[in-house]
Amino acid sequence: MLHYATKRLISLVLSLFAASVVIFTAIEVIPGDTASFMLGINARPDTVAALRAELGLDLGMVPRYFSWISGMLTGDFGTSYTYRRPVVEMVAGRMWVSLPLAVYALTLSTLIAFPVGIIAASRRGGWADKSIMGATQLGIAVPNFWFAVLMVQIFAIKWGWFRAGGFPGWDNPFQAFRALTLPAIVLALPQAAILARIMRSGLIDTLDADFMRTARAKGRTARGALWHHALRNAMIPVLTILGLQFSFLLAGAIIIEQVFFLPGIGRLIFTAISQRDLIVVESVVMLLVFAVIMLTFLVDLAYAWVDPRLRRRAI
């Protein structure tokens, strides 16, 4: 297991280095000048040059890259061009919205998808299976931003059960979770539909395996064989989807945060792009890439724990 984890850790470090180069290069080659954008079209050239020097934009790309990456390694993500605040403070403040929202949505998605997928697989071909698969297809097809607007209209405006938008902070945890409930449901249901289909497919493939017939021949009931043998062996594709879904929920909820006016990471990136605050965009995107790669690393370790054959292949 240690040898397997070491190989995956080396791959993680190389992936992070490659991602940092791609992110920095892609953002820096975007046409336009940050200093000119900040000062406006009527700014004098010497004023623009002074601001470029103050922001460090007069240096070449290579020195700026190494300055940026060395700062991130020491916990210094730079200073926002627009707000003149450390990026790490801005991210930390927004993460207290995006991270609980992602965890909340992933929890709801898992709680819905696991029993639904198990029921569909255990009753494949029946009316329950067909109904569930039809519902999951609808859940995948419906755009989440339209679903978000519909949820606001029904549960916030018409019935008044939840907040239509905004976030009150964590001083009152009940109100905070109440504000995150609708966005979490909107994010969770499409992901639950995907996860339920993957769970069903994985279980069906496992239920047809030889070892399942052997378990039944030894006296296991259908339910006992499913819970004690099939479920664990069907978890590998499910773990992959769970890792990808958490990354999506953490980084890809920009539209939902806009609909519900949540001050999270998604709105921070959107605002930074519109204001051409490139240091914020670079640092936040790099942090999100780090989160995705780290989650992939943890999923790989979970693979090795679920399936010992992977550990033996790594030796």
Q: Dihedrals φ, ψ of 187, to 5°? A: -75, -30
Residue 247 lies in a domain: yes
- In this structure, the answer to whether residues 63 and 160 fall within a common structural domain is no
- In this structure, the answer to whether residues 44 and 94 fall within a common structural domain is no
Q: Which of the pair, 263 or 215, is modelled with greater confidence?
A: 263
Say yes or no to pLDDT of 111 above 80: yes
Distance between CA atoms of 79 and 89, rounded to whole angstroms? 9
Model-level pTM? 0.77
DSSP 29: T
Interval 121-142 mean pLDDT = 83
- In this structure, the answer to whether residues 150 and 192 fall within a common structural domain is yes
Contact 265, 91 (CB under 8 A): yes
Share above pLDDT 70 across residues of the chain, in percent, rounded to a whole number = 82
Distance between CA atoms of 58 and 27, rounded to whole angstroms? 16
pLDDT in tens, 229-258: 666 667 777 777 777 777 778 766 777 888
Domain of residue 163 covers 88-274
- In this structure, the answer to whether residues 198 and 63 fall within a common structural domain is no
Average pLDDT score, the chain: 79
Interval 278-283 mean pLDDT = 84
* pLDDT at residue 108 in the model: 92
Interval 170-195 mean pLDDT = 88
Give Cβ neighbours of residue 313 (< 8 Å, ≥ 6 apart): none
* pLDDT at residue 251 in the model: 65
* pLDDT at residue 303 in the model: 67
